[in-house]
Amino acid sequence: MSDKNIVRPRPKETENEIDERGAFVRQKNHFDRAFGDGENQNPVEADRYCLIWAKGCNWSNRAAIVRELLGIDAISVNLVGRDKQEVDLGWEFVYDENNTDPILGVQFLSELYENGDPEYKGRSTVPALVDIKTKKVVNNDYHRLTNYFEVDFAAFHKKDAPDLYPEDLREEIDKFNEWLFHNVNNGVYKAAFAQSIEAYTEAYDNFYKGLDELEKRLESNRFLFGDYVTDSDVRFFVTLARFDIAYYRRLGPTRGRIVDFKNIWGYARDLYAIPAFKNNTYLRDLAESHGDTNTIFVDYNTRFWDKIDFEGLWGETHYREKLSKDPKNKLLINKKN
């Protein structure tokens, strides 16, 4: 790690983000400055930023998927993960030589948070968009980061990039994304971190109620807003990719798996077939368990994570294209590019 910063232990959700009811209340995103030419905005420049994300984190996974869908090579990318430490120091550049980012020169993501705000005391989360010039985190707002990529970084989209955030649907997409966050994306975490049975039951019930509504919606729509993939589909997909192989372990008895929802499961496979989704979804890594093997009862993932045929499972035929008026195309090309 760098000599400048003393890396502090990672704060625990169950100690710092639980309310008086025992419910999980996720910390707010600290670096939420928007992008643009304004005085209090981050400048939009090529080769200025690096997207830091993690394979296991759904919030950052969606930023990585959108970056590739749009072809924003002007933003570089790097992965963080976890190595075993005596004390949990949070996300670390475990895939780089000497566990150190070669450009930013740090071992732990929290060092870049420290650079951005020495007074920050919360968890160092991903996605984190880092200013390469200053080596500071400038945005960790997963609520809006994909929208910034879709709108503010349009000048750096590849030719024929898809329109994931159509102007005529933005208000509706924003409203839907807010609902999706509370009931589904963050819903599994509300249940997993709940410290009272009342809070757990509420989160669990809301999650499955949300899935039921989405199962019905996808009965007649190929994607959430019709014939083409939007920002909302990315946000829903990253939760689906993790549920059956990771989230379920923390939820206790589950009412059903994603594969038990006919429409949702076909929809998830339809999205996975798109290269940007597949390339940024590490199913085997998500399934790998580091559980206790010194017991008679070893969990399913520990026994079988390296034997599951993910490509066969996620590559099964789904026939979702029949719901579309434009079955050969899943992405709506942005004609403004």
If you write DSSP's letter for every residue of 17-70 in order, what string do you get? SB-TTS-B-PPPPS-B--BSSSTTSB---TTSEEEEEETT-HHHHHHHHHHHHH
Q: Which amino acid makes up residue 251? A: L
Q: What is the arithmetic mean of pLDDT over 96-117?
A: 96
Reported confidence tier of residue 2, pLDDT bands at 50, 70, 90: very low
In the three-class reduction of DSSP (H, G, I as helix; E, B as strand; rest coil), residue 320 is classed as helix
Share of the chain above pLDDT 90, in %: 84
CATH no., domain 13-156: 3.40.30.10
Which among 57, 148, 267, 272 is annotated as catalytic? Answer: 57
pTM of this prediction?
0.94
The per-residue pLDDT for range 10-51, each reduced to its tens digit, is 999 999 999 999 999 999 999 999 999 888 899 999 999 999
Rounded Cα distance between 85 and 184, Å, is 32
Q: What is the arithmetic mean of pLDDT over 251-255?
A: 84
Judge contact between 143 and 126, C-beta under 8 A: no
Q: Is 57 a catalytic residue?
A: yes
The per-residue pLDDT for range 291-300, each reduced to its tens digit, is 667 777 788 8
Mean pLDDT across the chain: 94
Please check the confidence at residue 4 and state whether its pLDDT lies above 60.
Answer: no
**Residues comprising the binding site for glutathione?**
91, 123-126
Nearest to 173 by CA among 215, 209, 211, 143: 143
Instruction: Give the largest Cα separation in the chain, rounded.
Output: 61
Q: What is the arithmetic mean of pLDDT over 267-282?
A: 98
Q: Can you give the residue ranges of every domain in the chain?
A: 13-156, 167-323
Which among 49, 142, 165, 189 is annotated as catalytic? Answer: 189
pLDDT score, position 3: 46
**Residues comprising the binding site?**
91, 123-126
pLDDT score, position 290: 66
The per-residue pLDDT for range 204-251, each reduced to its tens digit, is 999 999 999 999 999 999 999 999 999 999 999 999 999 999 998 888
Same fold, 13-156 and 167-323: no
Q: Is 189 a catalytic residue?
A: yes
CATH class of 167-323: mainly alpha
CA dihedral 265, 285, 142, 70 (to 10 degrees): -70
